[in-house]
Structures are given as structure tokens and as C-alpha cells.
Amino acid sequence: MSQGARQWPWLTIESMAIGPRLENNLREWLPRQRWFARSGAEISSVAIVDEMALGGVDQLAVIEVRRDEEAADRYLLTVAGDELDGLKSESLRARVFELVTGGRLEPSDSKVLGAEQSNSSLLYFDREGKPAWVLKLFRRLMAGENPEHEILSGLNRLTSFRHVPQVVGEIRRGDTTLAVAEEFVANLGDGWEYALRGLRAGDDHIADVSLLGRRTAELHAALALAFGTEVIGDEDARHWIARAKAGAHAPNLAGYREALAPWITHLEQNTSGVEATRGLDKIRLHGDYHLGQVLKTRDDFVIFDFEGEPARPMAERRRRGCALQDVAGMLRSFSYAAVTAERGGWDVSARAAFLAAYRETVHASAPRLVPGDADGFARALGFFEREKAVYELSYELAHRPGWASIPLQAITTW
């Protein structure tokens, strides 16, 4: 367990009085929370299965939610007295930070940054009132150490790569990560915000994109050093092809079979490009890499949010993969930025600059992570880009139908 980690005695529901009092309100309250995973099935039962007293009326609680015949999901609640949204309580925020850091740090104040898809983030200020630390509470809980803590702490301890936040503590319940605290990184916005501002003002950001390509290659080399490598073999290729086939046959893509037909044919005939990855080294990955996952500092970039895709099982998020999976995610993000900023063609220039810097750096520091020849590199990268575009189409149709044309354009112009 890392410095600052805490394991506290969790009490059963029978030993506390809040369970029955809160359970009656949860069914109505939960669907209104942004971090609560939606499903087509109705909630059939909600039960508080674990609770931890933080002091006073402040508590953390783990609830188990069942939807008809689906497997139960577990979520982390912050509770202040009768208030289910305990993050409104300054005392609860202070006690959670003390728990995560072991009381080694003393913030002067805190605020909620907002609820995301699967977590809530809090900002803590030092004694001078300056932003100093960010604490992330993982709302949807899955067994297994969360990559956010595992990867950041590994990079912090085992490598000289300093373009990631520094971890200052965590809370873990058994093998499940509940929260992670990191040092705040002063920034000009995340990469998505920074890119859109510049593109709309007429800046092409090509020098920045080139720098990001170098930092991405350095990250992959550091991940190889910190967590080791394994050779990509037939089992990996079969796993990735099966994953891509499952994505292409997602139920909500039934109306796009004609557009997806060439991709599905390549997957079935083993000509998708994944064959070019055999024999390379596989490593731990960022796993959900795009412009929104990097912070633009005054003269560089810091890469953050190593949680992986929250919708994927924890085992999949922690699985080693080909470095080009991360590269593909960033390239797809360039396409989204070009369309959003109405700068058609910018993504082509950005892609070229990013890949030139990435390939030069990775070949010098970790040459076995990507194919050495241009054709093999293009085919392997093409596999992960196409898989990502299909994933995006399914996601957009489910959550942002107005954006579906962006991945669909990529799919139909292969």
C-alpha cells in the first residue's frame, strides 16, 4: 500500500442506524446523479452494504444497486446527516482529504469541481489560498486497484517521467480503490479547450502537437520501464479482433451494417491490420487517451486521468496492450477538434506532426513498441483507429446523436 493509503474498519449495515433511513430515498435520488450509470432496466433494489463513519454526521457508504436480472453494481456515497450529496458539506470534504492523505497535508478550503461519468472531483487549497491538490472519488466501484492510482504511483516512483501528476494518497477498501489524491497542476486548460481556443483564433498549434507526440512516446517508454513488457502474440490478436467484432455488432449499430461491412469483412478475413502487431512489446496504457486527458501548462503538457474507459471492466482497463491504441485515441480526438472548431483539414496536419514526433522519439527510446517499417506501422495503427471510430459511433448514438456524423465520416472514408 502506498504512503497515505488507509484501510479503515467498515461496519455492516446492521451496526449502523442510517441504512433504513436512507434506502427509502435512494431510488428516486440516484437516477438524477451524473455519475450514476444509466441502463434501460429499472432499478429493482437498492441496499446499503457498507458504511464508514468519518466523524460527526459525515459518512461514506457503499450501496448495491440491482436492475431486474442484471448483475449488481456498487457505488460510493458521501453522506452528511440526512443529505445524500455529502460533498456539499465542507466538514465531510475535509475529513475525506484527511483520510486519503493520512493527515500529512492541511488544506485551508475546498470545493467540488463537478461530477463526471464515474467519479467526483474536489479541489483543495493550501494555506495561501492557492489550488494545491485534487481528490477524485470513484463513484462506480469495481474490484481491483484503479489504474489511476496504480499507474501514477508507478510512474512517480519508478521512472524519471514527470509529465504526470504526483500522487499524495489513496483510500482502498480491500482490493478496491475508492479515492485518489494528486497534486494540482497549474494549467491553461485541458488539451481540448486549449486546442479549440487556438483553432478558432486561427492558430494551428502544430508545434504544440509535435511536442505532445514526443511526450506521448516518452510516456509509453516510461510505462514499459515501470510495469514491464510482454510480447504480443496470437492470443492478443484474437482478443483484439473479438473486441472489435463485438463493437461492430453493438445493438445500436444495426442500422449501419452497410457502412460497417468492409470493416467486418477485414476482421473476419484476418486482414484488419492487427497482424502487424505480432512480436511487438505490449505495455500498460493510458487507455482513454485524447485531448481532454492532457493539461496544457505554460510551456509543456501534463498527462492525467489514467482511469481508463470507465465503461470497460477493471480487468480490461488494466490489461497490457499495444501503444498504438493510445495513439489512435489521440488522432481521433484531432478529428473531433477539427470538426468542432470548423477547421477542416487541420486534423491532417496535426496527425502528420504528432506521428512524426512520436515515431522519432519512440524508435529512439523503445523501438519494440511499434512496427519499425512504415507499412506495418500504418496497418497496425489503422486497426486501432477503426476500432475506436466504431466505438465512438456507438457512444455518440447513445449519448450525443448530433455528433454521430464525426465517427461515421471516418468509417465511410476508409
Most confident stretch, 20-24, 92-96, 171-175: 92-96
The pLDDT value given to residue 392: 96
- What average pLDDT does range 179-192 have in this prediction? 96
Would you list the domain boundaries of the chain?
Answer: 13-183, 191-412
CA pair distance 146, 305, nearest whole angstrom: 11
Lookup result for grid cell 502487431: 277
- Which of 3.30.200.20, 3.40.50.300, 2.170.150.20, 3.20.20.70 would CATH assign to domain 13-183? 3.30.200.20
Mean pLDDT across 390-402: 94
- How many angstroms separate the Cα of 3 from the Cα of each of 7, 55, 125, 177, 195? 12, 23, 21, 14, 36
State the pLDDT at residue 90.
Answer: 95
Whether 23 has a pLDDT exceeding 70, the answer reads no
- Tell me how far apart the alpha carbons of residues 342 and 197 are, in angstroms, rounded to a whole number: 12
Q: What's the count of helices (H) and strands (E) in the chain, helices before strands?
A: 12, 13
Q: How many CB atoms lie within 10 A of CB 146?
A: 26
Q: Is the pLDDT of residue 47 over 60?
A: yes
Nearest residue to 213 (alpha-carbon basis) of 306, 327, 289, 302: 327
- Worst-scoring range by mean pLDDT, 140-149, 236-245, 248-257, 316-325? 140-149
Q: Three-class SS of residue 381?
A: helix
Question: Cα separation of 80 and 59, whole Å?
Answer: 6
Looking at residue 14, what is its pLDDT? 34
Q: Is the pLDDT of residue 128 over 80?
A: yes
In CATH, the number for domain 191-412 is 3.90.1200.10
* Distance (Å, whole) CA 168 – CA 149: 10
Of 168, 98, 100, the C-alpha closest to 133 is: 168
CB 261 within 8 A of CB 367: no
What confidence category does residue 319 fall into, taking pLDDT thresholds of 50, 70 and 90? Answer: very high
CB 322 within 8 A of CB 237: no
- Give the single-character DSSP code of 43: P
> How large is the average pLDDT for residues 172-187?
93
pLDDT at 31: 87
Does residue 169 have a pLDDT over 70?
Answer: yes
Whole-angstrom Cα distance, residue 110 to residue 66? 34
Instruction: Tell me the residue ranges of DSSP E strands in 264-374.
Output: 281-282, 294-296, 301-303
pLDDT the model gives residue 241: 97
Which ranges constitute the DSSP H helices of 117-256? Answer: 147-158, 191-200, 206-227, 234-248
Average pLDDT over residues 318-335: 97
pLDDT higher than 80, residue 7 = no
Predicted confidence (pLDDT) per residue in 225-265, tens digit? 999 999 999 999 999 999 999 999 999 999 999 999 999 99
Which helix (DSSP H) or strand (DSSP E) does residue 377 occupy?
Answer: helix 374-399
381 grid coordinates: 495503427
Q: What is the pLDDT of residues 85-127, one digit of tens each?
A: 999 999 999 999 999 999 999 999 999 997 666 799 999 999 9
Query: For the segment 10-21, what is each residue's pLDDT rounded down to a tens digit?
Result: 333 333 445 566
Q: Mind listing the pLDDT tens digit for each residue in 328-357?
A: 999 999 999 999 999 999 999 999 999 999
Quote the radius of gyration of the chain (alpha carbons, Å).
Answer: 22
Cut 0.75: pTM above it: yes
The model's pLDDT over 255-287, given as tens digits with 9 standing for 90+, comes to: 999 999 999 999 999 999 999 999 999 999 999
pLDDT at 68: 78
Look at residue 252 in the predicted model and tell me its pLDDT.
95
Please report, in angstroms and rounded to a whole number, the separation of the first and last CA atoms in the chain. 47
Confidence (pLDDT) at 6:
37
Residue 37 has pLDDT above 80, yes or no: no
Alpha-carbon gap, residue 157 to 152, rounded angstroms? 9
pLDDT in the model for residue 3: 38
Percent of the chain with pLDDT over 70: 93
- Strand order from edge to edge, sheet including 58-66: 45-55, 58-66, 73-80, 140-141
In the predicted model, what is the mean pLDDT of residues 66-83?
87
Q: Is 128 exposed, middle or buried (0-12, 13-18, 19+ CB in 10 A)?
A: exposed
